[in-house]
Structure 1
Amino acid sequence: MEGQHDGDPDPNSNVPIFRLDSDILGRIFSLNADLDNFTTSTGLDNNSHKLHPLNITRHSSQVCDRWRKLIIGCSSIWAGLIDLDVLNAQAHENWMNEVMRRTGQSLLTVIGFKELGPHPGAKELFISLLTDHWWRVRKFQAVVRPSKFDSTLWDTLWTTPSPHLEEFILLESTRFDLFPSKPRSDALFADHAPSLRIFRCTNIGFNYRASWIPQLRSITIQAPLNVQKALDVLSRTRNLEELRFEDVGIRNPMPIDRSRVDLPKVHRIQGTATLGTALTILEKISPSAVCELGLHVDHSQSDAPEIEASLKALLLIVSRFIENHLIAQEQDAPECAVATDFGSFAYTSPHNGRAAREPSFMVNLTYNAIPIDEIFPATYRKAVAHLRFLHNAAFSGFKDNTLDNFLLSLTCLKTLQLSQHAVTQIFELFQKNATVFPLLSMLQLRFSPGEQLVGETRLSLVSFLLGRKSAGIPVDILDIADWNGERPDWIQLSFLEEVVGLKVFWCADGVDGEYICGSGSPEKLDFCQLSG
């Protein structure tokens, strides 16, 4: 590592961290400076900047002389910390200039999602990154406002080679055209971006036969591409692993005839589009057998035959995606989770490696119930161990006539998560078939903020629990929480005292609570009294 020079012995050298080897310290500093997994630049947490990697790195460099030499001497650490949101929040531009100076000639990671700061230095820094330092940008993620820049500034993106660029994400914060109104025929990055792997950009028209397109691993298809051009671009991306499409073809006719596009390495497709666009793209591509799917489809509320036919065709494609994925996973005997609500369906395999547990499949349709019994293969329903059933009374008029058949087929279900409206639906199903969910051991109730238990739900809940106990298949645990995972402070559950032996679990302020019904203290379940 550049600049590894030990300073004078530190007075705190008996502390273990001060005795670490310089290489180990350098590795720790590099990990602390990692922006890739730091998402608070979006501004969701106003206090997040205190823990921002740039600020942590700055404070670490002030601990002692040895640390300062190590950190300041490593230009790659600073080059990975160009967060415009944090730098623009500074009262003066001196710190911006100092950070850029410390980057030396190292490859830059640049991110920024907010309005530029009030002082001229903020805008000057952004312009300098595009005009003076673009050749060494490795990652670029930014959201910009059209009014802030002369459109000629963006000429840099076409005229400057990008030999080290790996990720390029540039979005508008409005619907106005940020870039030249007439699409340019030349390729972005002077047709030289040999390392580019991730590409997402709004409203840039350019030569879609650029030399760097075949090497992409992730692409987001957006305006001004129509569906035909989108498929043309995809036909050149055989190394693609992730496909996203948004608002493609809204004002463009669907392609009439085109051969299928083979995308053998694509393992994830994420789309937000109209019904016609989503159907056309999914019909015309062939991803890998284990491809996951996230889809939000917006269509008009209509009983027109052509709409019904398109919906049926789309759901058939979704069903094929799910079945192919399950066939590929069959050897692992997955114990999976399914979620259903009005107009939505999600399936999550425990083998999904994402820390956030992103569903393997998620489909949302506006103005339409999803016939879950038709899209989830019957052969694999024994793998469904967890079900989120969160139907809302407001959409009770949109009924899925296949739902009961699907629920009755879940013979290995262990955990059932319900909304208040869904409690009544499950009890009605139980009345028709007392052996539904024979292995069910945990019931989870999820409440919206301020939501009260209505009388019908109380009756349905206690009747369902007592009925299962009488049938010899009792529910052992009732877990209650609001959408934040905390105990709802506005409900009374003391009526559950008669379900003797039922364990009620909750969490309040990070502390777990438990009550066994029939213990003689039902007031512990009246949370509105406890919160008062």
Structure 2
Amino acid sequence: MHLSYKKLPRPFSESRMQKRSSVPVDRRKMPTSIAELGEDILWEIFLMNADLDAVLDLGGLYEPGKEPPRSWRNLILGSPSIWGRVIHLDFFDQVKGHWREEVMRRTGDAPLCLKGEITVPRTEDFFLDLLETEWHRIRKIDVRLYTEYVFEDDVWSPLLLPAPSLESFNLGYSYYRSLSIPKGRLFSNNAPLLREFRATGIPFDVNSRWVQQLRHITLSAPFSVPEILRILKEMQFLTSIDLQLGIRAGGEITNEIQDVALPRLRNIVLTTHLMTGLKILESISPASGCGLTMVSHSTRDALMSQVELDRAVSVFARFSCNYFAVYPPKRLALGLTSQSFSIYDLLDSFRLPSSPSFKFAVQLHQSLAWEANRQLIRSLMHSPLTSLHLMELVLAQNAVEICGDEFLKLTQSMLGLGVLQTDTLDLLPPLCQMPSTFPIPFPALHTLKIVTSTKISSYLIEMFLSWRQKCEKPIEVLDLTFSSVSLLGNLSNLNSFKGMRIRWSQQFEAHEYVCGIGTGKRLIFGRFEDDI
């Protein structure tokens, strides 16, 4: 059983315009920067601040320590729409219900936005009571419910009612498999405003009217790949999809590729087995610049024939070229190992969190991993990489030699790369051994960052720096900031590279040395003084 709350009076039922203009604003006491703002604009600012999902930080409207103007306080306290947006359940765990009742009174008849993680009975009862008594005006649900027991089926009966105000539904329930909701009755097939549906494990009828109007959907088991593609084909308004671990692959990739055109699709997230994800991606035609996050954690179904590998590489090439053609990469991370391939677009800070992104990180069967790495690298060269400024490399031992020409050609295509970060010095010798008649790898490189947990060889670094000087492309900065000082050893030989800056960190302090201006004694680190 859960607690019941009395329906409280709704004194704030005035129209939006009345709510905006009923409180006089004393501009004489307001901060100068917003002294001329009218009530309508102020109200919109407060409303955005009350949005629990807001991306932008709209704070800082007044100086810390100063009491906000009384007019602001009155405007906020008198706006049911603002109160309706701040039902963050984590803050409603008081022993007595006075605060919960007061907040609900202040919401009037405004739409409600519910958010939070429920871990205690008091907030659990409050949430379930809101479902029962206020379902008709709930606009957003973003709730995780953690419990050690199973609810009776009638607790979820509000979900079977029409949802006239519901725009976003995101409900996580630890015992979701116990929900026996008839799949054809969710929302009574009537949720005209619903745009986002994230509810793993809650059964629903894929033919419901509200499904076709969604902008985002999260799907997982028990749907199979053919079922998912059939659902997606009818969802022409989709802008993002999230397909999670547990989706059944439904057999091998076949020649019968479904054509699922989703012209508005801007983001795809796949967390599943490799072959399952490839089957889905192979059929989807998204919008230009569509982002992709493809993550597989298991090699269980990663064993492929050569034909399947070719098709997998084709899928990667199509999505990577489609994304990078619209969002030319400036910062990338590339990982090559004997069991995996990964590439990340390291987004610039000015990109909004809602912007498309690209991450392809898959586990590969050991028997074909290096061949797959070579083919994936080759396909990557079809993407525009001339704007790339920073590359982070995570390489297994001998990865460069094994990937051979494909990797070296990739380095030659990065004409604008200025900063290279690597976790291994094994990368350096193959680059130095390239014939002089070949184009130089990373022709614009000026900064080498070494991030390693093993002892650094001054010999390999010196060899690479000498080769760059010989090519008339000298390194200007050697950055060892994220390598342990105890592993740097004796780097005094590097003092001969006049003008190059060496950076490191010691006892949480940043240090820099300009080569050639001293004897190089500052480059002798730790107990490796005799290691030259």
> TM over 0.5, yes or no?
yes
Structure 1: which amino acid aligns with 2:81? S
SS of equivalent to 2:206 = coil
> What do residues 121-180 of structure 1 show as CA deviations (whole Å, max 9, x unaligned)?
31221112211122212221122235355142553354221122221112244xx54442
State the shift of 1:298 in Å: 4.0
* Structure possessing the higher radius of gyration over alpha carbons: 2
Quick check: 1:341 aligned with 2:335? yes
TM-score scaled by length of structure 1:
0.78
Contact 1:337 1:348 in 2 (8 A): yes
By relative contact order (CA 8 Å, sep 6+), the higher-ranking structure is 2
State the shift of 1:320 in Å: 1.8
State the shift of 1:64 in Å: 5.3
Quick check: 1:412 aligned with 2:438? no
SS of equivalent to 2:413 = coil
Structure 2: which amino acid aligns with 1:193? A
SS of equivalent to 2:314 = helix
Structure 1: which amino acid aligns with 2:168? E
Contact 1:295 1:364 in 2 (8 A): yes
CA shift in 2, pair 1:514/1:136, >3 Å = farther
Contact 2:261 2:284 in 1 (8 A): yes
CA shift in 2, pair 1:284/1:17, >3 Å = closer
Map of 1:21-100 to 2, 5 A cutoff?
21=37, 23=39, 24-37=41-54, 63=68, 65-88=70-93, 90=94, 92-100=96-104
Report the counterpart of residue 145 of structure 1 in structure 2: 146
> What do residues 40-96 of structure 1 show as CA deviations (whole Å, max 9, x unaligned)?
xxxxxxxxxxx999xx99x999745433211111111121111122333x5654333
Match among 188, 211, 220 for residue 218 of structure 2? 220
Contact 1:269 1:294 in 2 (8 A): yes
> What do residues 7-28 of structure 1 show as CA deviations (whole Å, max 9, x unaligned)?
8979x93853795655254344
Report the counterpart of residue 44 of structure 1 in structure 2: none
SS of equivalent to 1:390 = strand
Q: Percent of aligned pairs with the same residue?
A: 25
Contact 1:157 1:188 in 2 (8 A): no
Q: State the distance in 2 between where 1:363 and 1:253 align.
A: 22
Contact 1:7 1:65 in 2 (8 A): no
Contact 1:202 1:222 in 2 (8 A): yes
Question: What is the aligned residue count?
Answer: 491
Report the counterpart of residue 364 of structure 1 in structure 2: 361
Report the counterpart of residue 393 of structure 2 in structure 1: 389
Which blocks of at least 5 consecutive residues in structure 1 are unaligned?
40-50
Contact 2:330 2:390 in 1 (8 A): yes
Q: State the distance in 2 between where 1:455 and 1:259 align.
A: 52
CA shift in 2, pair 1:265/1:508, >3 Å = farther
Q: State the distance in 2 between where 1:97 and 1:231 align.
A: 46
CA shift in 2, pair 1:356/1:481, >3 Å = farther
CA shift in 2, pair 1:459/1:224, >3 Å = same
Structure 2: which amino acid aligns with 1:136? R
Contact 1:158 1:186 in 2 (8 A): no
Q: State the distance in 2 between where 1:94 and 1:4 align.
A: 29
Structure 2: which amino acid aligns with 1:68? R
CA shift in 2, pair 1:52/1:473, >3 Å = closer
Q: State the distance in 2 between where 1:210 and 1:267 align.
A: 24
Map of 1:27-426 to 2, 5 A cutoff?
27-37=44-54, 63=68, 65-88=70-93, 90=94, 92-112=96-116, 114-117=117-120, 120-145=121-146, 147-148=148-149, 150-153=151-154, 155-156=156-157, 158-173=159-174, 176-181=175-180, 184-250=182-248, 252-253=250-251, 259-300=258-299, 306-307=304-305, 309-326=307-324, 328-329=325-326, 334=328, 336-342=330-336, 343-346=340-343, 348=345, 354-355=351-352, 360-367=357-364, 368-369=369-370, 370-371=373-374, 372-378=376-382, 380-393=384-397, 399-401=402-404, 403-421=406-424, 423-426=425-428
CA shift in 2, pair 1:498/1:5, >3 Å = farther
Q: State the distance in 2 between where 1:217 and 1:91 align.
A: 39
State the shift of 1:524 in Å: 6.0
> What do residues 340-367 of structure 1 show as CA deviations (whole Å, max 9, x unaligned)?
1132332549899733597743211114
Q: State the distance in 1 between where 2:497 and 2:95 align.
A: 62
Q: State the distance in 1 between where 2:467 and 2:253 align.
A: 56
SS of equivalent to 2:141 = strand
Structure 1: which amino acid aligns with 2:418? T
CA shift in 2, pair 1:424/1:91, >3 Å = farther
State the shift of 1:513 in Å: 5.8
Q: State the distance in 2 between where 1:71 and 1:206 align.
A: 39
Contact 2:259 2:283 in 1 (8 A): yes
CA shift in 2, pair 1:273/1:301, >3 Å = closer
SS of equivalent to 1:98 = helix
CA shift in 2, pair 1:397/1:501, >3 Å = closer
SS of equivalent to 2:209 = coil
Please report the RMSD computed on the Cα atoms of aligned residues, expressed in angstroms. 4.1
Which blocks of at least 5 consecutive residues in structure 2 are unaligned?
1-16, 528-532
Structure 2: which amino acid aligns with 1:428? P
Report the counterpart of residue 467 of structure 2 in structure 1: 467
State the shift of 1:206 in Å: 1.7
CA shift in 2, pair 1:324/1:86, >3 Å = same
Q: State the distance in 2 between where 1:302 and 1:77 align.
A: 50
Structure 1: which amino acid aligns with 2:446? S
Q: State the distance in 1 between where 2:189 and 2:271 align.
A: 29
Q: State the distance in 2 between where 1:345 and 1:194 align.
A: 41
Q: State the distance in 1 between where 2:355 and 2:282 align.
A: 24
